Structure 1
Amino acid sequence: MKKGTAILLLGKEVRYLVKARKEIFHTKEGGIDLGKIKKFGDTATSTSGTKFTAVEPTLFDRMKKTKRGPQIILPKDAGLIITETGIGPGSKVLDAGTGTGWMASFLANIVGEKGRVVTYEKSKANHKLSKENFKFLGLKVTAKQGNAYKDIKEKNYDLMVLDLAEPWKVKTINQNLKPGGYVVAYLPQISQVMDFSKFLEKNNFLVDRIVEIQEREWAIKERISRPKSQTIGHTAFLVFARRL
């Protein structure tokens, strides 16, 4: 296996993201000899006897190791955005309000090398952080530091994702989106939803859906099942609209 390749060491209780190298990786389960891992699917046993399988990490496995900053758009919301809007390889997408870069990362993974993801972030610190995360993940994202309310000039986007406090101030949405293209706003407060919906209705958009997603994880042990104590409740409302 090439030195530096990302490997996920998958155990029954814990997992570790490492890079391929000829070293001992020290964990609370003991040392793991990474030099013995030659390919994905190989197993490695720590000095305390804990067994791990070396697998190829998913994008989300690697995203969990990115540097964190502002609040992120979680998979429960990002997944619906991607599914509802139908983007795929070759799609052209804009993400406004980069933050840590999670939404742009999900999008870039879907549109692939033939697609294009452009993301705008006003904060210099967040812009720098997101660029470091995109580099760590190996994703093709055009990251711009700028004011999404006035700096978006590109046209014919298939999708615009707006993680902004006042998305109705992006006056160029009609010019930025292709006919039938989607705009999706991520809005924590219902008052924001109402204001943005009014803006859309006045500007030749069809408000398709307004959705809130709550996620509850369950624990199963033998014949006992129960919801886990920590659940993901309200994060934001998603407003889906299409340009007419």
Structure 2
Amino acid sequence: METPIILKTFYKGKIKEYFTRADGELHTDLGIIKLEELRTKSPGDMVKSHLGIEFVIQKPKAPDFFKHAKRSGAPMMPKDIGVIIANTGVCSSDHVLDAGTGSGILAIYLGGIAKKVVSYEQREEFIGIARQNIALAGLSNVEVRHGDIVAEIQKLDERFDVITLDTIVSSQVIPYVPQVIYPGGFLAVYSPFFEQTKEIREAIGKTGFSQVQTIETIEREISFTDRGTRPATARVGHTGFITIARY
């Protein structure tokens, strides 16, 4: 499966962006682009539509897959993913265990950094979508496994540097984390509600974790207009809570 590319142009004061692959033709309101031409070009090169409009070729990054990848539900937002990456210090030598794959968006972000990511998803209908998205991202170091993480973590004979949980059963998984995490490793748990977050904190409190903190990140985009500068009103600030604990 070929990695997709992004075609971008600035036309009449607006950015036009297309997420596509080098196959067939792309029909746009700015003309038709013969995508086979992309096979001989590199990111940064230009390609023209039949109307003469130039598009720059860009290599997609994780935020582009968040924006364009097929969804099986609501993925974790980039602002929350950033909190996890920053506070766990996940790096190129790390092995990561992820649970609650969903569309595979968090796994894609982690796969671009870590040495290996193993992600569990219980819902079989989500697995095909996640694997397709991960393959589109060109990541061979991300493995999606089908299974109930509560049962599967008890049978694992692997150990991990970072463990991320985005599942309603996180509090049931936490008691088994110590047997699969390296000393000094980090656990990061996403939870949308106060009640679930409290259960997670209580479960962590019964284990040998230290340096536990729960974070809510409020993101506000700033709007710049002729009338003035102010926080934009179109975005919802709260998405969820991130609990970080070190073993």
Q: Structure 2: how far apart are the matches of 1:108 and 1:205? A: 25
Q: Is the 8 A contact 1:182 1:242 kept in 2?
A: yes
Q: Which residues in structure 2 correspond to 1:33-112 (within 5 Å)?
A: 33-34=34-35, 38-48=41-51, 50-111=53-114
Residue 180 of structure 1 pairs with residue 187 of structure 2 = no
Q: What percentage of residue pairs aligned between the two structures are identical?
A: 32
Q: CA deviation digits over 1:169-195, x for unaligned, max 9? A: 113111011111111110011121112
Instruction: Describe the SS at the equivalent of 2:68.
Output: coil
Q: Is the 8 A contact 1:201 1:207 kept in 2?
A: no
TM-score for the superposition, normalised by structure 1: 0.87
Amino acid at match of 1:101: G
Q: Structure 1: how far apart are the matches of 2:34 and 2:158? A: 52
Higher relative contact order (CA 8 A, sep 6+): 2
Q: CA deviation digits over 1:8-55, x for unaligned, max 9? A: 21212111123235x543201222344555333222343455432222
Q: Give, in angstroms, the shift of residue 107 of structure 1.
A: 0.8
Pair 1:39–1:179, CA change in 2 (3 A): closer
Q: Structure 1: how far apart are the matches of 2:145 and 2:202? A: 29
Quick one: which of 18, 21, 25 aligns to 1:19?
Answer: 21
Amino acid at match of 1:159: V
Q: Structure 2: how far apart are the matches of 1:122 and 1:6? A: 28
Amino acid at match of 1:177: I
TM-score for the superposition, normalised by structure 2: 0.86
Q: Is the 8 A contact 2:65 2:105 kept in 1?
A: no
Q: Which residues in structure 2 correspond to 1:116-131 (within 5 Å)?
A: 116-131=116-131
Runs of 5+ unmatched residues, structure 1: none
Q: Structure 1: how far apart are the matches of 2:37 and 2:229? A: 39
Amino acid at match of 1:150: A
Pair 1:61–1:184, CA change in 2 (3 A): same
Q: Is the 8 A contact 2:163 2:188 kept in 1?
A: yes
Q: Structure 2: how far apart are the matches of 1:17 and 1:205? A: 42
Instruction: Describe the SS at the equivalent of 1:64.
Output: helix
Residue 228 of structure 1 pairs with residue 228 of structure 2 = no
- Tell me what 1:10 maps to: 8
Alignment length (residue pairs)? 237
Quick one: which of 206, 209, 215 aligns to 2:213?
Answer: 209
